[in-house]
Amino acid sequence: MDTKFSVALHIMVMISESTEVQNSDTLANSVNTNPSYIRKITALLKKAGIIESTQGKSGMSLLKSSREIDLLEIYQAVHPKEVKLLNVHTDVNPECPVAQNIEAVLNPIFTDAEQQLFQSLKARTLEDVIKQMKKNHNESHSKQAI
pTM of the model: 0.86
| Tally of domains within the chain | 1
DSSP states of the chain: --SHHHHHHHHHHHHHH-SS---HHHHHHHHTS-HHHHHHHHHHHHHTTSEEE-SSTT-EEESS-GGG-BHHHHHHHHS-S---SS-------TT-HHHHHHHHHHHHHHHHHHHHHHHHHHT-BHHHHHHHHHHHHHHHHHHHH-
Q: Of 111, 109, 118, 106, which is closest to residue 76 (Cα–Cα)? A: 118
**Model confidence pLDDT, tens digit, residues 80-131:** 887 778 999 989 999 999 999 999 999 999 999 999 999 999 999 999 999 9
**Model confidence pLDDT, tens digit, residues 41-59:** 999 999 999 999 876 666 8
Question: Which residue range forms the structural domain that includes residue 44?
Answer: 3-144
CATH number of residue 16's parent domain: 1.10.10.10
